[in-house]
Amino acid sequence: MTKVGIARGIFYYYYGDIWKNFFDYLKVPYIISPNTNKEIMENGMKYANDEMCLAFKTYLGHVSYLIDKCDYLIIPRIDNYKLDNQTCTNFLSAYDIVKNTFDIKILNYNIALDKHQNLKQGLINIGKQLGFSKEQSKKAYKYAVGLYKKDRARDITINMGKLNSNKTKILLLAHPYNTYDDLIGRDIIKYLNANNIEVIFSDKFDDKITNKLSEKITKDLYFKYSKDNIGALIYAKDKIDGVIFLSAFPCGPDSLTNELVMRKIDIPHINLVLDSNSSFTGIETRLESFIDMLKGGF
Amino acid sequence: MHKISFPLMGDYNVPIEFLLKHAFKEEIIMPPPITSKTIELGTKYSPEFVCTPFKYTLGTMLEAIEKGADTLIQMGGGCRYGYYGEVQDQILKDLGYNVTLINLVTKGKVDIRRIVKELKETGIKYSKLKAIYYGFIAIKMVKYMDIIDDYIRENIGFEVKDGSFETLKFKMLNDFRQVKSYLELKKLYRYYLKEIQNVPIRKPDKCLKIGIIGELYTVMEPFSNYFLEKELSQNQIEIKRFTNVHYLLFEKKHKIKKYLKYSKKYIKYQMGADAADNIARTKYLCEAGYDGIIHIKSSFCTPEIGAMPIINKIASEYETPVLFFSFDANTSETGIKTRLEAFYDMLEMRKEK
Amino acid sequence: MKDSYLGVDIGSISTKGVIIDDDNNIITSSYIWTEGNPIKAVRKLIDILKKDLPNNYQIKGIGTTGSARKLIGLLLKANIVKNEITAHAVGTLTFYPNVRTILEIGGQDSKIILIKNGIITNYAMNTLCAAGTGSFLSSQAKRLGLDVSEFGAYALKSKNPVKIAARCTVFAESDLVHKAQVGYPIEDIVAGLCKSIVLNYLNNVGKGKKIESPIIFQGGVSKNVGVIKYFKEILGEDIIVDENGHLMGAIGIAVLARKNKIGKTYSLELSNIAFDTKAIECGRCPNNCELLKIYRNNELVDSWGSKCGKY
């Protein structure tokens, strides 16, 4: 039976669970690349252009890991959720870049809500390529999204519940593909937890609320994921003690949005920009002094 | 009285100034020409890893403010360029300047209603009728300039008398500034087109032909690309360039579908800004027998970064050499010259064989 | 009298000179440090070459290459001035007509040149940043308290090279310091540096380039056995390092000087030639270009650095 490969990077952190549910329902076997490790990152750097952002380099490393382990890779293209909610160019170009760099068949769909291309059609299309009827795929889609929404609601409740914690609270403002990547955000979260900090994640809020809320800081922004993050900050700002901006060098949207937000807020914050070889010692020093400051421990 | 200004790009300040002068009943401040000081200023106040056009446009804004401007116009879209305005506005405010920044393109489109509202809020006086009429003339002016530039680019390397084209073009732009009507513009255009076509040139049959592609601002603002076109022309090279304002405003929309179809062996989708356009152009340049391709962009330009591996692949399939440049505020000029020289040498050697 | 041709390659770190005959045989050659003063270095270089040149040879062509090629071209009245990429390729092809790939890591530049049937088909240079080049290596060596010439030997001792970030000089330096502070053995750090230079080179300069055999490795860093080892290991191919590798640019430009000779005979007597440069800030516009005016025997022969081209 054909096996689908899911690269643990970029899209995975938004759609991975839905894909897993979808393939589970259709009993399509799939393989997910492991947590990012040094080998994956180094492989990514081999294929990536030098100036690509760290997260995308890593993504290409995950793709290369899967090349000889599956029949298809699933790589969507996410263009927009309407014109005022667009994505960065990596979400637009990943499919074509992979297609030109590797020799592998790709399951692809496009999300462009301004042109009425949505996830449902996308998954039905993929089902078709794998030999399933429209009906079967529709059912699988319904199952996948239903389950995802339930899980997501639970995650959001837990995350937002932390806003009432008695501990020192820090909002980690970052794209999930950075936050949860083993070589990007994991050590930071681990360090914060070990220091008795309540870490709140900017990606685990209800985007129906946060997306709109972002307009309080920026009226012209059209990057969906950045807007959601900024909205989360506005939602949480009176309940948190500090913010950590974490981004992957040289992220296009973050270079502007984080700059703007940092100029506009008056909450204690630090800006961490990670490159492929940033040593954790340097980051640790900055985290430590930041926490000291928040706890008034000087 | 408001004092309005705008960032510079190539020679397009001529039609923009022309339009603003006629449409607004306000003073128009021309920013000084872009110099090293512009980019120094811009870099000093810009976020660290933003693409270079942000720094250039912020630099010109600061220089315009120095000259007294209190209202600035920013335009552009496609990638993060469309978000420059809001961030630049905040940076200027934090620097203590009391200026209004009007963004013509917001969220990927020209929102006329919003622009009108902002103009009203600022109290800028303008005439709607004149804006439409002179807007039309300005657009035609852009078109004529672009046609003439295309011709010059192909031939300037071969002019018999050095500087003939530049002198003529300088005169033309000066005359364009003064026109009163569309008819007058059209007459002038016809006159200059003829003059320019009559400039004596000595072009060998086997001259080198190079296509320039890349990120739009870097392609169109000569200072930001270290006067690449001039450098090439001094080495008797015919230059082909696709990106100009007329293309971006009027041709891109329908051409992009053709481009995608033409390059469907390589790509299925657009990849932001002009990335897909440049991929198609690469294929075209290879098939049309150009000797080489130069791809230029500012550092960290994400759409072009995505296009580069694909451009590289196409060019190597056709065995056409590509030279990539990523310009930053502190790029070394000698480094560029060395690479360019080696590029011509290589192309010449290939041609001789 | 036999004809001969002088090629001079003036780099940021070293200045190389060679005199060849009509059959590309090296009659004499020299290699000295530039020490930030290309004019002085070339005067010294010419003196050395002159002493070694047998009396029955006359110079019928002079070529200059390297970063100071234009300046020295004026000093020597060279009949050809060419960039170092072309010069290196021509020089290497003279001795290795079948070469397919030239890897070169010099003082400030690194480059790759691909060759097919004796012509350059593609090349790339580092992205205008000195990370991973010779000067980077020597500054890191200094930090570790080593001489750069011992570096390669140290690297060979290591079994576990440490991973060093060499993408950017600043990152690399902090990483290096950190690794040394936490107590990694020095040979592992040195080996890590050598390996990272190779990886960085392949990921940057060599990106998207098909590296085919025969491969020749040149430039100052090709003297480093550690770097050679990792090139071999990572590419899985044999790497040729010519003992005259550092002279290839000079040889190439000498060959080009022969091909472009104009029938003139040159003198190598420089002591009676006054050669000065004067730097002034223009100040006529905000570009404030630094103009460099060049005088040969007190006569203005050239002026560089103006953006507008007027001065």
Q: Give the sign of the dihedral formed by CA C246, CA C252, CA C253, CA C255.
A: positive
- A279 contacts C174? CB cut-off 8 A: yes
- Statement to judge: residues C59 and C116 lie in one domain: no
pLDDT score at C186: 87
Beta bridge partners of C33: C14
- Statement to judge: residues A143 and A19 lie in one domain: yes
pLDDT greater than 70 at residue C130:
no
Segment holding B119, helix H or strand E: helix B112-122
Choosing from A129, A151, A173, the residue where a domain stops is: A151
Q: C52 is in which domain, residue-wise?
A: 2-90+249-259
Phi and psi at residue B253, in whole multiples of 5°?
A: -55, -45
- Statement to judge: residues A69 and A23 lie in one domain: yes
- Statement to judge: residues A126 and A176 lie in one domain: no
Q: Which two tokens stand for residue B216?
A: 């739009």
The CATH number of the domain where C110 resides is what? 3.30.420.40
The DSSP line for B237-300 is EEEEE---HHIIIIIHHHHHHHHHHHTTTT-SS--STTHHHHHHHHHHHHHTT-SEEEEEEETT
Measure the CA–CA gap between C62 and C87, rounded to whole angstroms. Answer: 13
- Statement to judge: residues A8 and A145 lie in one domain: yes
Residue C267, domain member (yes or no): no
- Statement to judge: residues C103 and C19 lie in one domain: no
Choosing from A95, A121, A151, the residue where a domain stops is: A151
- Statement to judge: residues C16 and C108 lie in one domain: no
Residue C296, domain member (yes or no): yes
Residue A100, domain member (yes or no): yes
Stretch among B99-113, B129-143, C11-25, C136-150 having the lowest mean pLDDT: C136-150
The CATH number of the domain where A228 resides is what? 3.40.50.11900
pLDDT greater than 90 at residue C170:
no
Average pLDDT over chain C reads: 88
- Statement to judge: residues A66 and A170 lie in one domain: no
pLDDT, tens digit, 9 for 90 and up, residues B274-309: 999 999 999 999 999 999 999 999 999 999 999 999
Number of domains forming the structure of chain A: 2
Instruction: Identify the three-state secondary structure at position C111.
Output: strand
Residue A13, domain member (yes or no): yes
The DSSP line for chain A is ---EEE-SSTTHHHHHHHHHHHHHHHT--EEE--S--HHHHHHHHHHS-TTS-HHHHHHHHHHHHHTTT-SEEE--EEEESSTTSB--HHHHHHHHHHHHHS--EEE--EEEGGGTB-HHHHHHHHHHHTT--HHHHHHHHHHHHHHHHHHHHHHHHHHHHGGG-SSEEEEEES-HHHHT-TTTTHHHHHHHHHTTEEEEETTSS-HHHHHHHGGGT-SS--BHHHHHHHHHHHHHTTT-SEEEEEEETT-HHHHHHHHHHHHH--S-EEEEEE-TT--HHHHHHHHHHHHHHHTT--
pLDDT, tens digit, 9 for 90 and up, residues C133-162: 777 888 888 888 888 788 888 889 988 888
Residue C127, domain member (yes or no): yes
pLDDT, tens digit, 9 for 90 and up, residues C233-268: 999 999 999 988 889 999 999 999 999 999 999 998
- Statement to judge: residues C221 and C131 lie in one domain: yes
Residue C268, domain member (yes or no): no
Q: Which two tokens stand for residue A50?
A: 């030098």
pLDDT score at C169: 61
pLDDT score at C139: 81
Distances (CA, A) of A42 to A36, B293, C130, C190: 10, 30, 21, 20
Q: How confident is the model at residue C279 (pLDDT cuts 50, 70, 90)?
A: confident
- Statement to judge: residues A118 and A170 lie in one domain: no
Distances (CA, A) of C288 to A131, B31, B61, B228, C96: 68, 18, 20, 20, 47
pLDDT, tens digit, 9 for 90 and up, residues C68-105: 999 999 999 999 999 988 999 999 999 999 999 999 99
pLDDT score at C165: 65
Stretch among A251-255, B170-174, B186-190, C12-16 having the lowest mean pLDDT: C12-16
Average pLDDT over chain B reads: 93
> What residues of B are in contact with residue A219 (Cβ under 8 Å)?
86
- Residue in B closest to A82 by C-alpha: B107
pLDDT greater than 80 at residue C178:
no
Number of domains forming the structure of chain C: 3
pLDDT greater than 60 at residue C128:
no
Q: A110 is in which domain, residue-wise?
A: 4-151
pLDDT score at B104: 87
pLDDT score at A35: 97
Beta bridge partners of C266: C59
pLDDT greater than 90 at residue C288:
no
- Statement to judge: residues A108 and A9 lie in one domain: yes
Measure the CA–CA gap between B182 and B141, rounded to whole angstroms. Answer: 9
Residue A274, domain member (yes or no): yes
% of residues, chain B, pLDDT over 90:
83
Q: How confident is the model at residue C301 (pLDDT cuts 50, 70, 90)?
A: confident
What would the mean pLDDT of C222-236 be, rounded to a whole number?
A: 93
Residue from B69, B96, B93 nearest B7 by CA: B69
Residue from A230, A218, A213, A215 nearest A174 by CA: A230
Choosing from A151, A176, A210, the residue where a domain stops is: A151
pLDDT, tens digit, 9 for 90 and up, residues B78-89: 789 889 999 999
> What residues of C are in contact with residue B338 (Cβ under 8 Å)?
67, 83-85, 125
- Statement to judge: residues A132 and A203 lie in one domain: no
- Statement to judge: residues A172 and A147 lie in one domain: no
- Statement to judge: residues C227 and C105 lie in one domain: yes
- Statement to judge: residues C117 and C234 lie in one domain: yes
The CATH number of the domain where A93 resides is what? 3.40.50
- Statement to judge: residues A127 and A249 lie in one domain: no
> What residues of B are in contact with residue C208 (Cβ under 8 Å)?
309, 312-313, 316
What would the mean pLDDT of B259-287 be, rounded to a whole number?
A: 97
pLDDT score at C131: 63
- Residue in A closest to B274 by C-alpha: A89
Among the partner residues C127, C175, C203, nearest to A279 by beta-carbon distance: C175
- Statement to judge: residues C83 and C103 lie in one domain: no
Residue C269, domain member (yes or no): no
Residue A160, domain member (yes or no): no
Q: How confident is the model at residue B241 (pLDDT cuts 50, 70, 90)?
A: very high
- Statement to judge: residues A23 and A100 lie in one domain: yes
Residue C286, domain member (yes or no): yes
Residue A157, domain member (yes or no): no
CA distance A51 to chain C (A): 10
- Residue in B closest to C117 by C-alpha: B353
- Statement to judge: residues C106 and C210 lie in one domain: yes
Residue C265, domain member (yes or no): no
- B339 contacts C85? CB cut-off 8 A: yes
- Statement to judge: residues A49 and A116 lie in one domain: yes
pLDDT score at A297: 55
Residue C280, domain member (yes or no): yes
Residue A156, domain member (yes or no): no
pLDDT, tens digit, 9 for 90 and up, residues C44-65: 999 999 999 999 999 999 999 9
What would the mean pLDDT of B210-220 be, rounded to a whole number?
A: 97
Low-confidence residues in chain A, pLDDT < 70: 277-278, 297-298
| pTM metric for this prediction | 0.90
- Statement to judge: residues C114 and C235 lie in one domain: yes
Among the partner residues A51, A77, A86, nearest to B300 by beta-carbon distance: A51
- Helix runs in chain C, H state only: 38-52, 69-76, 84-95, 134-143, 151-157, 169-182, 186-204, 225-235, 248-259
- Statement to judge: residues C203 and C286 lie in one domain: no
pLDDT score at C40: 94
> What residues of C are in contact with residue A64 (Cβ under 8 Å)?
none
Q: Which two tokens stand for residue B56?
A: 């250039």
- Statement to judge: residues C151 and C56 lie in one domain: no
Q: For an interface test with B, which of C120, C167, C169, C308 has the most B Cβ atoms less than 10 Å from its Cβ?
A: C120
- Statement to judge: residues C38 and C130 lie in one domain: no
